[in-house]
Amino acid sequence: MRRRDFVRSAGSAVVLGALPACATPPPAESSFTLWSWVHGNRDRDAAEWRRLFARLREAGFQAVLVGGGDIELVSGAARAEGLEYHRWFWTLNRNGDARVQEDHPEWFTVSRNLESSLEHPPYVGYYRWVCPSRAPVREYLRGRIAELAANPAVDGVHLDYVRHCDVILPRGLWERYDLVQDVEHPEFDFCYCEVCREQFAALDGRDPVEIADPTADEAWRRFRWDSVTGAVRELADAAHENGKPITAAVFPTPSIARRLVRQDWDRWPLDRFFSMLYQGFYLEDIPWIGDGVREGVAALRDRGDATPLNAGLYLPSLDPPALGEAVATARRAGASGVSTFEMDGLTDEHLAALRDAVS
């Protein structure tokens, strides 16, 4: 499915891609869409899923981004209640992938201390990442995405963890891990695997482990952005070849994403972006959500299209009045919608606040 068709099928009357970038108006009322991330690996039968999705639909939601669980069961329930079902996929973080960990330990990223994220996951035990520079990694992920996109029960593929390990954590998490990250520390700086070192040397002539101050080296930084972006391009092809849209959860703004996680997302050929504007993680407030939306929308507009951007909102940091304010702020800033993390955190009061904010 082409992006324009996807926008139409998402219930929009506005064909955003058909307008020249300079003339793009703020999203029309009908194009503001409500999505939610959903943990699908819950012990629920079809009737229970239908009840939960009917509740979302009544509050004005259009689509769910579902991770885990049975695709046919949960998709069937979502569609029966008029919601699109997008499959949420952990991309470069392959902690849950025992097959890859056993068969291909060499695929995992390596820190500046030359330790594998498989053997020495940074910060938390589930931080095990594969290297996007490696052709077999791309081929493997491409196959997984093609398989999901080819499934008739799947309306779209949603990428998450499309990045390197956080070289710098969001400011609000430093205390949790007892860290001061005013510089890039080597144990959190990836990827110095043999393939990355060889590819960078072929381009630049230097071995990255011999760069005196790799944290200040523009070419080395850009190599890692481009490595992730190259993998995303292949995954986008795999989804589009199977007629499905592909979206991603990304860090809050292009500049924060590049600095913290080597994610150059405003160059990715995706059909919709979900920027995780989780203000509590950054010790910020609701106006920061609006600033982040403006930066993301401007970056997408600058590249010459108007790919929609939905603001990702983190419910544990938003009581119902704050959620209403966050949605209104994102909308005024030019967002094409929001997505809430995650469905089980939506109280009746949250849903009422959402309805008021979009009515």
Nearer to Zn ion, 121 or 334 (CB): 121
Q: What angle do CA 282, 286, 292 make, to 5 degrees?
A: 65
Nearer to Zn ion, 16 or 193 (CB): 193
Phi, psi (degrees; rounded to nearest 5) at 61: -70, 150
Window of 112-120, 133-141, 159-167, 322-330 that interacts with Zn ion by CB under 5 A: 133-141
Window of 47-55, 93-101, 195-203, 273-281 that interacts with Zn ion by CB under 5 A: 195-203
How far is 273 from 336, CA to CA, in rounded Å? 10
Q: Which of residues 92, 141, 162, 196 is near Zn ion by CB under 5 A?
A: 196
Work out how close the CB of 109 gets to Zn ion at its nearest, in angstroms, rounded to a whole number: 6
Q: Does an H or E element contain 90, and which?
A: strand 84-90
Work out how close the CB of 104 gets to Zn ion at its nearest, in angstroms, rounded to a whole number: 13
Kindly calculate the radius of gyration of the chain based on its CA atoms and give it in whole angstroms: 20
How far is 309 from 58, CA to CA, in rounded Å? 23
Window of 124-132, 202-210, 211-219, 281-289 that interacts with Zn ion by CB under 5 A: 124-132
Window of 151-159, 190-198, 245-253, 288-296 that interacts with Zn ion by CB under 5 A: 190-198
Nearer to Zn ion, 131 or 146 (CB): 131
Beta-carbon count within 10 A of 249 CB: 23
Nearer to Zn ion, 32 or 107 (CB): 107
* Spatial contact of 354 and 323, defined as CB atoms under 8 Å apart: yes
Work out how close the CB of 48 gets to Zn ion at its nearest, in angstroms, rounded to a whole number: 43
How far is 157 from 238, CA to CA, in rounded Å? 10
Nearer to Zn ion, 134 or 142 (CB): 134
- Site for Zn ion (CB under 5 A): how many residues? 5
Specify which residues 33 forms β-bridges with: 337
Q: Is 137 a residue that touches Zn ion (CB under 5 A)?
A: no
Q: Is 133 a residue that touches Zn ion (CB under 5 A)?
A: yes
The pair of structure tokens assigned to 321 is 């009045």
Work out how close the CB of 72 gets to Zn ion at its nearest, in angstroms, rounded to a whole number: 36
Work out how close the CB of 139 gets to Zn ion at its nearest, in angstroms, rounded to a whole number: 15
Window of 28-36, 147-155, 178-186, 187-195 that interacts with Zn ion by CB under 5 A: 187-195
Q: Is 75 a residue that touches Zn ion (CB under 5 A)?
A: no
> Closest Cα partner for 312 from 285, 287, 336, 348?
336
> Closest Cα partner for 192 from 220, 219, 151?
220
Q: Which of residues 193, 238, 248, 315 is near Zn ion by CB under 5 A?
A: 193
Q: Which of residues 74, 131, 323, 346 is near Zn ion by CB under 5 A?
A: 131
DSSP 191-259: ---HHHHHHHHHHHSS-GGG-S-GGG-HHHHHHHHHHHHHHHHHHHHHHHHTT--EEEEE-SSHHHHHH
Work out how close the CB of 125 gets to Zn ion at its nearest, in angstroms, rounded to a whole number: 21
Cis status of the peptide bond prior to 218, with omega within 30 of 0: no
Work out how close the CB of 103 gets to Zn ion at its nearest, in angstroms, rounded to a whole number: 17
Q: Is 191 a residue that touches Zn ion (CB under 5 A)?
A: yes
Window of 12-20, 128-136, 172-180, 277-285 that interacts with Zn ion by CB under 5 A: 128-136
Work out how close the CB of 259 gets to Zn ion at its nearest, in angstroms, rounded to a whole number: 20
How far is 56 from 35, CA to CA, in rounded Å? 9
Work out how close the CB of 190 gets to Zn ion at its nearest, in angstroms, rounded to a whole number: 7
Give the CA-trace dihedral at 221, 229, 305, 88, to 10 degrees.
-130
Q: H/E/C letters for each residue in 111-139?
A: ECCCCECCCCCCCCCCCCEECCCCHHHHH
Q: Is 260 a residue that touches Zn ion (CB under 5 A)?
A: no
Q: For the chain, how many residues are written?
A: 359
Interface residues with Zn ion (CB under 5 A)?
131, 133, 191, 193, 196
